[in-house]
Structure 1
Amino acid sequence: MLGGYNTHPFWQLYGNLSVMSLVIEHIIVHSLFGDEQGRVQLATREQELSANPAVQQLMAELHHIYNTKAGKVFGYFNEEETGFRDLVRRMQDQSLTFAGFSHLAAERLLAELNRLEMSEQGVLLFVRYQWLGADYLLIALLDNKDSVTVTEKLEVSQASYLDLGKMQLAARLDLTELQTRSESRRYFSFIKGRAGRKVSDFFLNFLSCVEGMDPKAQSQGLLKAVDEYCEARQLSGEEKLASKAQVHKYCREQLNQGEELELRELSAELGTDDDLDFYQFVSEEYQLEDKFPVERSALKGLTKFVGSGGGLTISFEQKLLGERIQYDAATDTLTIKGVPPNLKSQLVGK
């Protein structure tokens, strides 16, 4: 049973737009559960769900949560193991119904779980949908939680709901990119949830997928490119801070909207130089994708200096260096003027 699902504060602003823009083509759910012997079993639904208003809202929220989830990994089909890709092809050429595709895919996932003696359980959702002109296949394993609620008659009753914010595992295949850019190394994306590194043991095998583009490496490369671009333009310290702040602002906005960074857009945000355009600069010197998701944790490197070691952690705004904070490289000494009040009170108390 699907039960209800958690809603989030974003819904009032985001939900109506999502329902209008997101078109569900096929959707079905199955269940992975443990038997008395501790092995995972599969219960399948025969018919697809109808895309009623409740299902539309569920999918709009799932889509938003997936888009804004940090730490996604990207990949592409493994040429040596084509099991899942063959299922996708059969679904696309309609030699398999969507329900039939989901049954075979669910059985494939179950086999991987049992082969590795893993006990992942929950509601297994398969959905094919369109969003802003792109065609997606989303597969998610969702927690089905039991709780209590107060009814309209003020009776306390048991209730079941989907905990969407804690997806255990989810993967999305961009069918449009697969069709138009089959050489891409990022038409698959997935999140790992509590399964952590074990995802490589069974989820990638289930998807016939290997890891491709690394968003963390791309984000670190972006920070290096911004630093060296500012140096190449011989910007003053103040101009450099302003440029980094502009990059930080753009990246934050993209993250909050669930969108990826686009180098051409970022270049336009930074403005153009008669001799040196940011997009041209990174195209010549760096191996950055034209479009990639920024790692939120990397953004602080644009505006802050951060370091830790030996029991010491220091973080401060880059603009403070040379003003309230001085660094003497000869003595390897950092001098801070104006200690934060909450830190000062702790120091004085000692």
Structure 2
Amino acid sequence: MAIKHLRTAFASQYQPGQPARLVAGEALQEPGGDYEALHKQMKRLFNSKPGKKYGRFSDDVGECPFSAWLKDYLEEKQTFAAMTDRLFGQWQELLNGSQEEFDGHLMVVHDALADSEVVYLFVLETDSAMRFDGSQKLDATDVLSLSRLNLAVRIELDDWRDGKDGDNYMTLVHARGTGDPGELFIRLCAFTNSVDVEKETTTFLDAVEAFAKTSEPEKAGEVRAKAYEFCKDQHALGEPVAIEALSSYLDESQPERFKEFASKTVEMPETGVLHPDHRKVKKLVRIAGSGGGMSVSFSSDLVNQAVYYDRDKDALTITRLPKALREQLQRYLEARED
């Protein structure tokens, strides 16, 4: 990994209705060192963030010109500094119309990977910290947060230019609670959602469940577990699930078996790639529910082994209780008896 270009700008809007303030840093080429470490941590947060959205650039270049500026930069019609000047200027204009307070650092990174190139936009947040100054007086200061990332976008440049992944070359992190600035960030990135993650999650689950049922009962759980592990690993890498790769993982001796089965069982996208929500895919290996003051969660492998469900009585019987739970119950009952 190597950063080709990086630039940051601090923007603040403390009085909605008033002009936002923006201070841009110098455009850096191959900055290395601490910048690489910061970028690596932001990428780690990006990859681990649940609920990402997938899409492409908006067709409305007049309203969302970032794609045109980026294209000119990649074709060397303008410098990275010129491109980010325009981007930062638009960010300031958008924040001028924000109805909520905002402050944060916008970091733009052109990242050269081993086999591809990527551009990231991160909105870096800050945490409050305490320190002693040179006179040993306690002083409050702000430091960059290395544990929070609520707004960011990744653009796969090769896929965009070559049209490889159709409409799915952009990945967006847009967390809840980002409010008006979050919507303005989406406009800045020129992002348009083109993937129904809910639908693709259902497609993934239906395909795996149907495939597991074709296996012997004792191996069905193994199929579900392997599918979940593959999906979880892809999520950690920040990558979608390629059905061909999953098929090879599920059955090395017959690597095409799941792929062929899925194509006949469910409606698969032409790309052969799904973007399931890994949190919901966990249903393959865990059964969970809550309500009425009760929360229950257990491995699906325990059904009819340590957990028994009586449909007629709508009753759940649990044996082989976890030690910690058993001790809590005993202490609670003893306290009530006293």
TM-score band by shorter chain is 0.7 to 0.9
Q: How much does 1:137 deviate?
A: 1.1
Matched residue, 1:48 = 28
Partner Cα distance (1:200, 1:158) in 2: 27
Instruction: State the identity %.
Output: 19
Contact 1:192–1:199 at 8 Å: present in 2 too? no
- SS of the residue corresponding to residue 313 of structure 2 reads coil
**Rounded Cα–Cα distance in structure 2 between residues aligned with 1:174 and 1:66:** 14
Q: Quick check: 284-293 or 313-322, which moved more?
A: 284-293
Q: Would you say 1:88 and 2:67 are equivalent positions?
A: no
Alignment of 1:267-346 (within 5 A): 267-271=247-251, 277-284=257-264, 285-287=266-268, 290-292=272-274, 294-339=276-321, 340-342=325-327, 344-345=329-330
TM-score after normalising by structure 1: 0.81
Which residue identity lines up with residue 329 of structure 2 in the other structure?
A: K
Structure 1 gap segments, 5+ residues each: 1-21
| Superposition map of 1:115-130 within 5 A | 115-130=97-112
Contact residue 141 and residue 170 of structure 1 kept, 8 A: yes
Match for 1:61: what amino acid? Q
Residue 24 (structure 1) aligns with: 3
Distance 1:108 1:46 in 2: 18
Residues 69 and 37 from structure 1, CA distance in 2 versus in 1: closer, same or farther, beyond 3 angstroms?
closer
Alignment deviations for residues 16-44 of structure 1 (CA, whole Å, 9 cap, x no partner): xxxxxx12111111110235677431122
2:98 maps to amino acid: L
Residues 244 and 156 of structure 1: CA distance in aligned 2, closer, same or farther (over 3 Å): same
Task: Give the whole-Å Cα distance in 2 for the aligned partners of 1:333 and 1:194.
Answer: 37
Task: Work out which of the residue numbers 32, 49, 52 in structure 2 matches 1:69.
Answer: 49
Residues 226-284 of structure 1: CA distance to partner in whole angstroms, max 9, x if unpaired? Answer: 111122x2x23221112112222333333444444332222112116879711112233
Range that drifts further, 65-74 or 37-46: 37-46
Whole-Å separation in 1 of the counterparts to 2:132 and 2:38: 22
Moved more, 33-42 or 307-316: 33-42
Secondary structure in 1 matching 2:122: strand
C-alpha separation in 1, matches of 2:293 and 2:95: 41
Give the 5 Å matches for 1:39-188. Answer: 39=18, 40-48=20-28, 51-81=31-61, 82-149=64-131, 160-181=142-163, 184-188=166-170
Equivalent in 226, 232, 248 of residue 228 of structure 2? 248
Which residue, out of 175, 180, 194, partners 1:212?
Answer: 194
Distance 1:221 1:136 in 2: 29
Change (3 A) 1:225 1:198: farther
Is residue 184 of structure 2 the alignment partner of residue 202 of structure 1? Answer: yes
Assess, with a 3 A threshold, how the Cα gap between structure 1 residues 29 and 274 changes in structure 2: closer, same or farther. closer
In the alignment, is the contact (CA less than 8 A) between 1:76 and 1:185 conserved in 2?
yes
Q: 3-state DSSP class of the match of 1:222? A: helix
Q: CA deviation at 1:167?
A: 2.3
Distance 1:322 1:237 in 2: 12
Cα-to-partner distance string for 1:299-342 (whole Å, 9 max, x where unaligned) = 42111112234443322221221122222223322222344415
Q: Does 1:221 align with 2:203?
A: yes
- Answer yes or no: is the 8 Å Cα contact 1:255–1:294 preserved in 2: no
Tell me how far apart the structure 1 counterparts of residues 242 and 24 of structure 2 sit (CA, whole Å): 40
Q: Which residue matches 1:190?
A: 172
CA contact (8 A) 1:267 1:278 kept: yes
Distance 1:305 1:189 in 2: 30
Contact 2:111-2:119 at 8 Å conserved across structures: yes
Pick which of 106-115 and 238-247 moved more: 106-115
Structure 1: distance between partners of 2:274 and 2:135: 50
State the 1:345 CA deviation. 3.0
Deviations 1:100-126 (A, max 9, x none): 111211221222222232322111111
Where does structure 2 lack aligned partners over 5 or more consecutive residues?
none
**For the residues of structure 1 that align with 2:187 and 2:225, how far apart are their CA atoms?**
41
Indicate the SS of the match to 2:305: coil
Distance 1:46 1:153, change over 3 A: closer
Q: Distance in 2 between matches of 1:327 and 1:66?
A: 40
Amino acid at match of 2:10: S
Residue 213 of structure 1 aligns to a residue in which SS? Answer: coil
DSSP 3-state at the match of 1:278: helix
Give the length in aligned residue pairs. 327
User: CA 1:144–1:230 in 2, change beyond 3 Å: closer, same or farther?
Assistant: closer
